[in-house]
Structure 1
């Protein structure tokens, strides 16, 4: 299941009066040199977000470090 399907399924399954999901995709690249010698080269990526729901006048908020946790939140 791709990210879009996962988000649509999570919103459709919400019992809240209002549900909002914001996703953040962060990509990091790190390059380290010692004088003119390459010491380290790393790349990483994170996909997380925040879910806000309004139910009967009260707000609930959950932060995600991994969108695969979305159904649990």
Structure 2
């Protein structure tokens, strides 16, 4: 992954986390909704990982970022 792609991915992740956090804070999403979104994201990640086994480190980092993002919302 080149630097531009990595930067775009981080920007997208941060925008998504901020959106989910805001929706949670205004009551549009419940804690259970946030948990289900994270579970869906992790399942999607696992599916993609099966198609790209050479990117194990990147997938592990993505998994950690998703988990940290959900923890920051609660």
TM-score (norm 2): 0.28
Larger relative contact order (Cα-Cα within 8 Å, sequence gap ≥ 6): 2
TM-score (norm 1): 0.28
Q: Select the structure of larger CA radius of gyration.
A: 1
User: Which of the pair is proportionally richer in helix?
Assistant: 2
